[in-house]
Amino acid sequence: MISPKRFEQLGEETSIINGRHVYTGKVHEYADDNPVEFEVMIKRMLAYSAAASVPAVAAGCLRAPGLINTWWVIIPYGAYVLTALAMLLGSVRLLVNEKPLIDRIYKRTAQMLPPRCGAHALFSCILILTYFINLLVSGADSFDLWQCILLPVLVICSGIIAYCAYRFVKNIHWT
């Protein structure tokens, strides 16, 4: 049963059966042939997403060369953080939505998790590339060695985690 407000939002995909609002559109179930159970998949995706998001946000708190007044490093960093948060948002939305997933929610959550994870891994690589180009061109100036090395370490760790999440979630099937 769905609420009357939700009934209006879903439009043609709902009907009234025995005086109750019922969703009659396409739904997607977690397939039985997946390598892990649904609860394990959710926990793993939340762990991957959180583990990729924490270094992404922490890297922005660093005083590192290239993150100050250098647009060709700041723009990839912004995309890198946004894709990390998109991974986290997708995992949380998958957790909180009712099962089975209605088609509209499925397309926004389960179907979008692999591209979000892949985009985060890709932007990690782009950020590392622009960061090192900036270091070669501009130098480290007055930054300590640890300030120059810590940002790439965090970004590489986050990118590897995102790639592992991508490999994991692309093998998940829905019916």
- What's the distance, CA 71 to chain centroid? 24
* Per-residue burial over 73-93, b = 16 or more CB atoms within 10 Å of its CB, e = otherwise: bbebbebbbebbbbbbbbbbb
- Among residues 128, 167, 149, 155, the alpha carbon closest in space to that of 53 is found at 155
What are the tokens at 68? 């100050």
* pLDDT at 3 (0 to 100): 65
Owner of token pair 């690589």: 125
* pLDDT at 5 (0 to 100): 67
* pLDDT at 165 (0 to 100): 97
* pLDDT at 18 (0 to 100): 75
* pLDDT at 141 (0 to 100): 77
* pLDDT at 140 (0 to 100): 80
* pLDDT at 4 (0 to 100): 64
- Which residues, given as ranges, of the chain have pLDDT below 70? 1-16, 21
pLDDT digits (tens, 9 = 90+) for 140-173: 877 888 888 999 999 999 999 999 999 999 999 9
* pLDDT at 153 (0 to 100): 96
